[in-house]
Every structure is written in structure tokens, then in C-alpha cells.
């Protein structure tokens, strides 16, 4: 028996075409699905347009609307959900849903690097990949949120867009894909399911700023964040999670003001670690009270910190959430 799969459209390059003003979403999701007749061999499909925009214009309101649409389809009996989405912020949308969905029904994001009217557009193949992975009972029974792209399936927590235009743009540094598709099978390489922290509500009201360290970077951006009265700061350090001396001093000030500080690394792979004890070193930052984010990249740490601070009055909740487990 074929599974029942709902396709939820949000726009992105997969739904875009080009005209004199540039490339923009113009195709409805129903058009995208009917353009790939092979989909019907694998599942019974329903299609729903949620929003239509490029992913670089996505906001929290749009993702909450998408989350509600997912809940509606699950309540309606869907065995799995496919979300078509732009690639620029796909990993953030997927991770945010993975942390806030209270459902065991798997959700698979997919999209395209080439617009629908380009030569060798990759949208149809990626859409077929997303539907095919949801025919696998092991994935349907495990839940979680994923990205399916170029015949690979990645967990929302670990995946990142590594290239501006390559068709195999998505990868999971250090971890690898959950599964790879062959012509006739879904081959699992990691256990499917969610690898993300779980939050009871979609509450992201806290204000969080991101600040980057680098050669010669001073404390101005961090001091401006303190003056603005933000709730939290994600500080993207270098290497294992180190910053310039002046930024390190400003971190101590931020923490004294009651502002939570989470330290990430600008490195593509690997985890942070409090090692160096000099001014701005990771160990010094930790001694001030900053929390290291393990291998979570800056853009995902920002979303997680927003959720933590929006739903937890205790500052200890930040440390517990980021340091307790791999999530």
C-alpha cells in the first residue's frame, strides 16, 4: 500500500522562473508535482500551497505558518510531509521545525539549485528523492525532520549548505548523510530520527544578536548589543571557540549584565572546546560564564538560544540545553 504524503509548498528556486526582472517564485506546487509523474508510483499525494517566497526572505511568522500546516496534514492522516523550500535558509527552517514539532511524522525538506526553467533543473529529481525516502518504513517510524537533496538524506540538526550553486550543496560535516538513495533502494548509514533538542512551544520572542570574532576585531558590536539590552548573544569565535582579547573582555561585561553568551566556531566542521586560558581564549570565556555550543553552527545556535531564552527564565537553562547532550 502506498503511503499518503502531503506536499507543502513555500516557494524557493524549485518554484522559480526567470523574466526580465530576475528570478522569482512563480510556479504553484501542483505544477511541480504533476511535472514528475513518477511520484504517483511511490505515494498518494496531496498538495497545498502554504506561502510562496524566496527562502532568503523567510521569517519566524512564515515558519510558524508552515509548522501549523504540517500539524494540519498530520491530523488529517498524512504518513509523511514533503516541504518544498528555498535552499538559502532551508537548514534553519528544518532545524527550527525539528525542535518544535510535537509529532512523530517525518518531514522532509527539498528544493533546487536551478530554477524550474533552467537547463537540467534539479527540482524534479530532488522532489522524487524526498518522496522516495518517505516510502521507507524505517524513516516513517522514526519521525524527525530532514533535508533530501541530490539523492542524499540529511538530519536537520547537522546539515548545512556548503556551496552557493553546486547541485550537491548540502552536507553534514563530520557526520555524513542519514541515507543515500540508489536506483531501487534507500540505504541507511545512520539511525533516522531527530537529533535536535525538543521544545514544547514555538516561542521565539527573545532577542539574540550574533557577533563574529576575527583578526583585529574590536568590541564595538558586542558593546552595542549590550547597550541595546538583548537577551542573548551568539559569539562566533575562531578555531575551538576563541576571540580577540577585547571581545573577551566585553563578554565578561555582557554576562555581568545578565546577558547569556553562547560561543560557536567559524570553522566548517568540528566542535568548540574551552582550552585556551589567555584573554579571549575559550577557557577564559567559559570561566566568565559563557557556554560553548559544541559543533552547532552560529545560525542554528541563534535559533536554539532564542527558543531557550523565550521558554526558560533560569539562566542555567542555557547551559543545560547546549551542553547536556548532542542535540
Active site residue 21: no
Whether residue 314 has pLDDT greater than 90: no
Confidence (pTM): 0.96
Select from 169, 126, 149, 121 the least CA-distant residue to 18.
121
Q: What is the CATH number of the domain that holds 299?
A: 3.40.50.40
CA gap 274, 207 in Å, rounded:
25
- Mean pLDDT calculated for residue range 58-66: 97
pLDDT for the residue numbered 61: 96
Residue of 34, 46, 57, 87 with catalytic role: 87
Active site residue 244: no
Please report, for residues 15, 32, 120, 121, 325, the alpha-carbon distance to residue 117 in angstroms, rounded to integers and kept in the order given: 9, 12, 9, 7, 44
CA gap 104, 80 in Å, rounded:
9
pLDDT for the residue numbered 320: 86
pLDDT for the residue numbered 119: 95
Q: 106 versus 317: which is more confidently predicted?
A: 106
Select from 276, 250, 249 the least CA-distant residue to 265.
276
Residue 151: which domain range? Answer: 4-188
Residues 133 and 271 in one domain: no
- Mean pLDDT calculated for residue range 87-92: 98
Residue of 10, 13, 84, 244 with catalytic role: 13
Select from 244, 320, 314, 257 the least CA-distant residue to 285.
244
pLDDT for the residue numbered 316: 65
pLDDT for the residue numbered 200: 85
Number of domains observed in the structure of the chain: 2
- Residues 277-312, buried b or exposed e (16+ Cβ, 10 A)? eebbbbbbbbebbbbbbbbbbbbbbbbbbbbbbbbb
Q: What is the CATH number of the domain that holds 133?
A: 3.40.50.1170
Residues 227 and 160 in one domain: no
Residue corresponding to grid cell 566542535: 271
Residues 122 and 12 in one domain: yes
Q: In this predicted model, what pLDDT tens digit does every residue of 269-291 receive, in sequence order?
A: 999 999 999 999 999 999 999 99
Residues 240 and 162 in one domain: no
CA gap 159, 165 in Å, rounded:
16
- Mean pLDDT calculated for residue range 129-143: 97
pLDDT category at 317 given cuts 50, 70, 90 is: confident
Percentage of the chain lying above the pLDDT 70 cut: 98
In a domain, 194, yes or no: no
Q: Which of 27-41, 143-157, 217-231, 308-322 has the lowest mean pLDDT?
A: 308-322
Residues 106 and 140 in one domain: yes
pLDDT category at 313 given cuts 50, 70, 90 is: low
pLDDT mean across residues, the chain: 95
Residues 273 and 177 in one domain: no
Amino acid at each position: 500500500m502506498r503511503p499518503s504524503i502531503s506536499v507543502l509548498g513555500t516557494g524557493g528556486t524549485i518554484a522559480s522562473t526567470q523574466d526580465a526582472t530576475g528570478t522569482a517564485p512563480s510556479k504553484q506546487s501542483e505544477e511541480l508535482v504533476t511535472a514528475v509523474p513518477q511520484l504517483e508510483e511511490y505515494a498518494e499525494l496531496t498538495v497545498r500551497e502554504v506561502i510562496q517566497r524566496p527562502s532568503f526572505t523567510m521569517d519566524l511568522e512564515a515558519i510558524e505558518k508552515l509548522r501549523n500546516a504540517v500539524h494540519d496534514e498530520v491530523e488529517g492522516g498524512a504518513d509523511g510531509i514533503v516541504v518544498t523550500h528555498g535552499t538559502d535558509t532551508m537548514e534553519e527552517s528544518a532545524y527550527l521545525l525539528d525542535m518544535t514539532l510535537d509529532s512523530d511524522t517525518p518531514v522532509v525538506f527539498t528544493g533546487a539549485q536551478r530554477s524550474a526553467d533552467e537547463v537540467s533543473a534539479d527540482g524534479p529529481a530532488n522532489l522524487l528523492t524526498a518522496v522516495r525516502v518517505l516510502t521507507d518504513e524505517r524513516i516513517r517510524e522514526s519521525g524527525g525532520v530532514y533535508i533530501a537533496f541530490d539523492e542524499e538524506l540529511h538530519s536537520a540538526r547537522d546539515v548545512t549548505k556548503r556551496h552557493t550553486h553546486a547541485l550537491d550543496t548540502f552536507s553534514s560535516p563530520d557526520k555524513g548523510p542519514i541515507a543515500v538513495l540508489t536506483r531501487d533502494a534507500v540505504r541507511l548509514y545512520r539511525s533516522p530520527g531527530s537529533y535536535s533538542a525538543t521544545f514544547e512551544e514555538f516561542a521565539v520572542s527573545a532577542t539574540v544578536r550574533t557577533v563574529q570574532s576575527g583578526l583585529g576585531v574590536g568590541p564595538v558590536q558586542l558593546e552595542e548589543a549590550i547597550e541595546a539590552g538583548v537577551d542573548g548573544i551568539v559569539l562566533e569565535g575562531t578555531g575551538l571557540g576563541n576571540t580577540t582579547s577585547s571581545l573577551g573582555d566585553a563578554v565578561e561585561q555582557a554576562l555581568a549584565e545578565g546577558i547569556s553568551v553562547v560561543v560557536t566556531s567559524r570553522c566548517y566542521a568540528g566542535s568548540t572546546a574551552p582550552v585556551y586560558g589567555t584573554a579571549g581564549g575559550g577557557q577564559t570565556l567559559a570561566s566568565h560564564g559563557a557556554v560553548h555550543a559544541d559543533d552547532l553552527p552560529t545560525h542554528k545556535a541563534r535559533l536554539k538560544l532564542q527558543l531557550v531564552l523565550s521558554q526558560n527564565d533560569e539562566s542555567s537553562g542555557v547551559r543545560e540545553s547546549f551542553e547536556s547532550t548532542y542535540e
